[in-house]
Amino acid sequence: MSTLTILQRGEPVLSAIAKPITNVHTADIKQLIEDLKATVAQANGVGIAAPQVGKSVRLFIMCSAPSERYPDAPLLAPAVIINPEILSASTQQVLGWEGCLSVKGKRALVSRHQSISVRYLDEQGQAHQLTFTDFLARIFQHELDHLDGITFIERLDHEADAIDEQTWRATMASNNDK
């Protein structure tokens, strides 16, 4: 298991549509899963998609725990999500702050569906159909976007709506003082 270099916005693989995985049991896929887990842990992220490390396949890791970046995050052990799809989504959308390991130093309010029903394979090739809400739904949608060549910046009306991390921290600190 090793950590991989996280590519930054502008790399062509981050704007490409990733290919489905036809066999989850190959040595390459198993190694990629382990490396993604190590990489997201080292980066203190709540998710990472294969394209972010230069692999254009439909695979991401979701993991969540409270941190400096996401103090209210729920606990979720690393979950391997292969060939994901959203089956249905709530009409209600909510704004929430997002950052990205591939868009260093930027934050923005992004509108996402509050609840989604999804289908995917796990690392053993077992099919799952679940409903995610709130922050976990946000992670799933954010990582799925990576598989479709989209970063959260492309979800904004204007790129200038993204703020730098320092301004975001100051905004959060002043909101907590109220």
CA distances (Å), origin 162, targets 48, 105, 125, 158, 175 = 20, 10, 37, 8, 18
pLDDT of residue 166: 87
Total-model pTM: 0.94
Q: Within a domain: residue 6?
A: no
Q: What is the CATH number of the domain that holds 72?
A: 3.90.45.10
Domain for residue 3, yes or no?
no
Domain that holds residue 121: 12-177
Residue 4 lies in a domain: no
In a domain, residue 5? The reply is: no
Residue 50 falls within a domain, yes or no?
yes
* Per-residue pLDDT in tens (0 to 9) along the chain, 178 residues: 789 999 999 999 999 999 999 999 999 999 999 999 999 999 989 999 999 999 999 999 999 988 877 888 999 999 999 999 999 999 999 999 999 999 999 999 999 999 999 999 999 999 999 999 999 999 999 999 999 999 999 999 999 899 998 888 888 777 766 6
Q: Which of 34, 85, 123, 143 is catalytic?
A: 143
Task: Give the Cα separation of 75 and 92 in Å (integer).
Answer: 24
- Domain presence at residue 114: yes
Nearest to 55 by CA among 38, 36, 34: 36
Q: Do the domain assignments include residue 1? A: no
41 CB-side CA count, 13 A: 13
Q: Contact 89/115 with Cβ under 8 angstroms?
A: yes
Examine residue 2 and state whether it is found in any structural domain, yes or no.
no
pLDDT at 173: 79
Q: Please choose, from the candidates 79, 75, 69, the residue with its C-alpha nearest in 3D space to the C-alpha of residue 48.
A: 79
Q: From CA 95, how far away is CA 145, in angstroms rounded? A: 16
Would you state the structure tokens that stand for residue 21, as one six-digit string?
Answer: 């995985």
Q: How many domains does the chain have?
A: 1
Q: Any catalytic annotation for residue 154?
A: no
If one counts every other C-beta atom within 10 angstroms of the C-beta of residue 90, the result is 15
